Amino acid sequence: MVRIKEGFKGQRLLSLPDDILRKYSQLPLVRPLYIRKMGFFPLVQHHYVQKDVGTDYCMLIYCVGGCGWYALQDHEPRKVEANHYLLLPPDTPYRFWADEYQPWTIYWIHFQGALAKDFLLYPVLSRPILPGNISRLQDRLNLFENIYDSFSMAYTREYMTHASLCLYALLSTFLHVDAFRHYLLPQHANDSFAVKVVHYMQENIANNLTLEELAGKFQYSTSHFSALFQKETGYSPINYYIQLKVRKACEYMELTHLKLYEIAEKVGFEEPSYFTRLFTKIMGMSPTEYRRRETSFGRENR
Instruction: Give 75-92 pLDDT, tens digit per residue.
Output: 899 999 999 999 999 999
Closest CA to 170 of 239, 117, 89, 111: 111
Q: What is the pLDDT of residue 184?
A: 65
pLDDT, tens only, 149-168: 999 999 999 999 999 999 99
Kindly report, residue by residue over 102-135, the tens digit of the pLDDT: 999 999 999 999 999 999 977 788 899 988 777 8
Q: Give the pLDDT score at 36.
A: 95
Mean pLDDT of 248-276: 89
**Region class of 73: left (phi > 0), else alpha (psi between -120 and 50), else beta:** left
Element of type H or E holding 93? none
Q: What are phi and psi of 31, to 5 degrees?
A: -50, -40
pLDDT band at 299 (very low <50, low <70, confident <90, very high): very low
Read off the pLDDT of residues 263-292 as tens digits, 9 standing for 90 and up: 998 899 988 999 999 999 999 999 999 998
Q: How confident is the model at residue 68 (pLDDT cuts 50, 70, 90)?
A: very high
> What would the pLDDT profile of 197-231 be if each residue is shown by its tens digit?
998 899 899 889 999 999 998 999 999 999 999 99
**119 Cβ contact list (under 8 Å, min separation 6):** 33, 58, 87, 111, 171, 175
